[in-house]
A = this chain, B = another copy of it.
Amino acid sequence: MSTKVKMEAVKLTILGCGSAMPTKKNFHSSQLLEMRNKQFLIDCGEGTQIRMRQFNIKTNRLNHIFISHLHGDHYFGLLGLISSLGMLGRTADIEVHAHPDLERLVAPQIAYSCGDFPFKVNFHPFNPRKNEIIYEDRSVTVTTFPLKHRVPTCGFLFEEKQAAPHLIRSMIDAYEIPIKELAAIKNGADYVTPDGEIVENSRLTTPAAPPKRYAYCSDTAYSEKIIPFVEGVDCLYHESTFLEEDVARIKNTLHSSAKQAATIAAKANVKKLIIGHYSARYKTNTPFLEEAKKVFANTVAAEDGMSFVL
């Protein structure tokens, strides 16, 4: 089982990549990140549960929901999702990580509509203006970092921890190594045979894949302060609500252009950039992709339903 966990790819599914106004193609912001056999929901705009149905997503490994900020297009789907999880027979608690105001805003409706569910919705408030670890387990950490928007907003950095090396089964069998020794070998120990032969750890194991890192930045104006937080990540999602030509809108709304998203990606030396959160005023995302690629070639323009393996 532990081997299976380590082999699991990190997978990102775009549930919604529209902005404040939905379009025929794109719902409000929401993404599902699967990392180390766990599911993390990032933002939960209206229709998130509908997208999950449409994209055949099962949520039995979903326990943690992260909300970047309290604009409705990033959290209005929360109540519907929680209600439906209740109807699906869920029993495990749901953990919601968000600005402290969220609990006050939605708790009355949760009490009213979900009061008889066999699970609780636990709120874990954080300060979006801080850079801090808000979630950690034995294999993953989630860190906030401040973005620049009209209300307190943060980005999230999801990082795998370095996994233990893989045992080389043929060597374990050849030396008939007892099971009780395996944990130590995974932790780096050499193996000493009953005859006193020292078998070096490097002959018994292969290194696990390097840990993956995914950073989510929505919503934000162009801010170079983001760069150190997302430096070198395997994948960066950075909002691109407008095109560069919409100077006034970019300035007034504290959103980014595709070029600006790509500039952050380039300066932070990330491996891949996904852009999204397109304003509904554009018919297609083609001009976004063209604008971004001039600055950062490895850019993909998100559409609802796309999945990426990191």
Shortest Cβ distance from residue A84 to the other chain B in the assembled complex, whole angstroms: 6
A interface majority secondary structure: helix
A109 and B106 contact, Cβ closer than 8 Å, known pairs A46-B49, A76-B79:
yes
Q: Which chain B positions have C-beta within 8 A of A88?
A: 21
A113 and B53 contact, Cβ closer than 8 Å, known pairs A46-B77, A80-B76:
no
A112 and B101 contact, Cβ closer than 8 Å, known pairs A46-B50, A79-B72:
yes
User: Across the interface, do A105 and B105 meet the contact criterion of CB distance under 8 Å?
Assistant: no
Which of the segments A22-30, A34-42, A207-215, A243-251 contacts the partner chain?
A: A22-30
A70 at the interface (CB under 8 A from B): yes
User: Across the interface, do A50 and B47 meet the contact criterion of CB distance under 8 Å?
Assistant: yes
Minimal Cβ-Cβ distance residue in B for A83: B72
Q: Which chain B positions have C-beta within 8 A of A101?
A: 112
A71 at the interface (CB under 8 A from B): yes
Minimum-distance CB pairs A-B, first 5: A46-B80, A72-B83, A22-B50, A76-B80, A47-B47
A2 at the interface (CB under 8 A from B): no
User: Across the interface, do B53 and A22 meet the contact criterion of CB distance under 8 Å?
Assistant: yes
Q: Which chain B positions have C-beta within 8 A of A108?
A: 104-105, 108
A54 at the interface (CB under 8 A from B): yes
A164 at the interface (CB under 8 A from B): no
A174 at the interface (CB under 8 A from B): no
A49 and B22 contact, Cβ closer than 8 Å, known pairs A101-B112, A105-B109, A109-B105:
yes
Minimal Cβ-Cβ distance residue in B for A20: B87
CA distance A112 to B104 in the complex (A): 11
Interface string of A89-128 (1 = CB under 8 A from B): 0000000000001001110110011000000000000000
Shortest Cβ distance from residue A167 to the other chain B in the assembled complex, whole angstroms: 43
Besides the known contacts A21-B53, A22-B53, A23-B53, 6 further A-B residue pairs in the complex with CB atoms under 8 A apart: A24-B54, A27-B50, A46-B49, A46-B50, A105-B108, A108-B108
